[in-house]
Structure 1
């Protein structure tokens, strides 16, 4: 009789996946797809892109499963891959943005605007968009810590492990991220 995969450890599940058990891969997805999606979405702010990046993170993770250290939580390992996907996405977006601004003026009307229609936002959505925009202005290292600690509610130890930095670094970055976010929100606050 095959064991109930929802009851076994990440270490055992990884061994089954490496042995070619497709149900082990499905169990990893069942366990970690939602938290990975949330992490990515909170970093980039675009649900469609976040879904694509979540899929990319799992494809990359499963392809590199031989490098997974089974004594560490799979959640931390896949989250690190997801954060790298976010960083890659941000770099690609900067390049696309540069080239779209470099288009000749006669083709500029073909470029979609990121600015929503004035009547499309209600007060709550407008405030959320303002916070997301302010978070997007934070340096990546500060934004990642803010997402991990503030939104994902990871402990300082978990965040440090995920980002491969010291706990003190997490504490310092979180302090700086909150202070900078407060400044950014104060500047754009409605009067």
Structure 2
């Protein structure tokens, strides 16, 4: 008989372990799930590998502290978490590993359109044309959508009701953002200028 995904052969409660060892095992399970995942893992999925009384948020906090001196960290991305390499190790990875397939490799104009969508979302083709002073090629929108960086948002409240564009969780992950508020905070800091100046 095949096992269903909802009922894995996993002792979640670990009642036979002392509390400290139980907590450590739950942390390791969360770390293993994050390590194996290619995308952010939501709280509900992490809760499936720990006991009912365990707080996923506290486990994540303890795991983050445990990884403090490691070259990778736990990062909140959208509604989930994942492990990512700390930025300081980026040059070493690029020098030694074939990480080219993971890079965005977007042209400058593609990045500008993506940034406009992120800042002004939901925004339609007409809004993008107003920002850039020209029509945005459908191929460019297709490239961004094909890489799952943007998706369709609500329809515009006008004749024909065209779709708008919004960024996705993959966008947040690609830029290491927890939410779009991180983007707003970075923009405010840039506008404020150097600290103490």
Give the TM-score, by structure 2 length.
0.24
Larger Rg computed on CA atoms: 2
Q: Which has the higher contact order (CA 8 A, sep 6+)?
A: 1
Q: Name the structure with the higher helix share.
A: 1
Q: Name the structure with the higher strand share.
A: 2
Give the TM-score, by structure 1 length.
0.25
